[in-house]
Amino acid sequence: MEELVRLRDVEEAAAGDGHLLWAAQGQRDGRLGPGVRAWRHGTALAVASPDLSGRDRLAVMGGTDDATHVVRHVLDDVGPSYRPVGQASLIEALIGAIRGLSPIPEFYWMETSAVPDSPAVGVEWLDEVRVKEATSLFDRFFPDSFAQPEDGGAHRWAGIVDSLGSRERPEPLAVAADVWSAADCGFLAGVCVHPAARGRGLAQAVCGFVIEALVRRHGRAALMVHADNQAAIAVYERLGMTKRLLRAAQVVSP
């Protein structure tokens, strides 16, 4: 098993897999992200990325036997806080082969390398004041979001600022963040729309705006969405994103 220390070696081993490229958190100077480590064994590649989107993640790809070998040894090295995540069928095989792994519900990895066709009308990058105002949107309607305006971890927030009534003060009604982006894979998260403003296409507009910016800067835009969130999946598909079923596992015993 070989540990990879250069981003270009990880990119070569990933063979265009957006999920592994994102996990590597590649920097524009050719380095892996802070604290990121990667290993290759046969057909398998594993990338351990600390505190990425709220979790210590161990992204993995490759054949079952090679991936089992890598994951077993890497978990011994990096510790049980890391969650193996990858193609749903591969993670299911790892759960059967490695003692102590327990499944976590499936989700979709969605990505695109194309700029959306639909125009993003009325969307803008928010200044510090508007980002701070968006905090209440999450406090009220999306407190479980890993991406939050108040944590300051996002590169930038986009939003639609409007009023719900003619006499009300304009405020952010729909927002989305460019957050946890890597050099060759931009990432979208923190999508939140005020319930009273739903049904107006605001989610599609603000997501399309961010996706366009990510594709132009990174060549690819990606996100993760719960497999049962059909409304959100439909929005992302209309914006040209394709989905791939992934699964994660957690270590529950030695």
Token digits of residue 237:
């598909």
Token digits of residue 1:
């098993």
Please check the confidence at residue 253 and state whether its pLDDT lies above 70: no
pLDDT of the residue at 114: 97
State the chain's mean pLDDT as an integer: 95
Q: Do β-strands 156-162 and 124-125 pair in parallel, antiparallel, or remain unpaired?
A: antiparallel
The CA-based dihedral angle spanning residues 83, 241, 111, 13, taken in that order and rounded to the nearest 10 degrees: 110
Question: Measured in whole angstroms, how far is the alpha carbon of residue 72 from the centre of its chain?
Answer: 24
Average pLDDT over residues 109-126: 92
Distance, in Å, from the CA atom of 183 to the CA atom of 10, rounded to the nearest integer, reads 13
| C-alpha R_g of the chain | 19
CB 175 within 8 A of CB 137: yes
Q: What is the pLDDT of residues 14-59, one digit of tens each?
A: 999 999 999 999 999 999 999 999 999 999 999 999 999 999 999 9
pTM of this prediction exceeds 0.85? yes
CB 21 within 8 A of CB 38: no
Residue with tokens 């132009």: 216
Distances (CA, A) of 100 to 42, 52, 83, 252, 254: 24, 22, 12, 5, 6
pLDDT of the residue at 141: 95
pLDDT of the residue at 168: 75
Domains and CATH numbers, the chain: 2-108+246-251 (3.40.630), 124-219 (3.40.630.30)
Distance, in Å, from the CA atom of 101 to the CA atom of 91, rounded to the nearest integer, reads 9
Identify the weakest region by mean pLDDT among 3-7, 123-127, 197-201, 235-239.
197-201
